[in-house]
Amino acid sequence: MSNPAQPKAFPVSWDQFHRDARALAWRLSGQGQWQAIVAVTRGGLVPAAIVARELDIRVIETVGIASYHDYKNQSELKVIKTVSERITELAGGEGAGILIVDDLVDTGKTAKVVRDMMPKAHFATVYAKPMGRPLVDTFVTEVSQDTWIYFPWDMGYAFQPPIHGTGG
């Protein structure tokens, strides 16, 4: 029997993440004439690069929001870098024609901060959890709120124990 207090682990390999980010680009193709991408750093950098390549978008900006200060627990949000005025002016001040890309929407707190900056932008994430899902326009895979996603840039190669039992 599993421990309900322990989050479910969802390890994502580089190959899987690349496939999922390309799937995100495929879903976004034809949805708009994107003038620029705004990547939510740091997690949004990798999918933003893949989406930019697939959709031939050359203008890429970042917005820095820190929410996980110890890699496990969300704490107070800090805007550490805002979007440049050039990008917001390009988009008429409210984000129309801008594609915001992040790896994951979890509780939606980060997404809300970014949405407030650019309310008319299109928000896309590779993965979405139920609490943050309403703030995202496009995503690829929904995971349960109690799932912890282990992204490939956060992991090294190591033995993974089986989900159930000792395997012996």
Query: How far is residue 163's CA from residue 168's CA, in Å, rounded to a whole number?
Result: 13
Catalytic residue among 20, 70, 106, 116: 106
pLDDT, tens only, 24-67: 999 999 898 899 999 999 999 999 999 999 999 999 999 999 87
Instruction: Respond yes or no: is residue 102 known to be catalytic.
Output: yes
Catalytic residue among 15, 56, 102, 116: 102
pLDDT band per the 50, 70, 90 thresholds, residue 94: confident
| Domains within the chain, CATH numbers bracketed | 9-152 (3.40.50.2020)
Query: Is residue 23 within 8 Å of residue 140, measured between CB atoms?
Result: yes
pLDDT higher than threshold 70 for residue 68 = no
The CA angle 100-101-102, to the nearest 5 degrees, is: 130
How far CA 37 is from CA of 45, 49, 84, 124, 148, in Å, comes to: 10, 9, 12, 10, 26
Read off the tokens for 70.
């110890």
- The residue type of 29 is S
Note the pTM of the prediction, 2 decimals.
0.86
Catalytic residue among 103, 116, 146, 154: 103
Instruction: Respond yes or no: is residue 103 known to be catalytic.
Output: yes
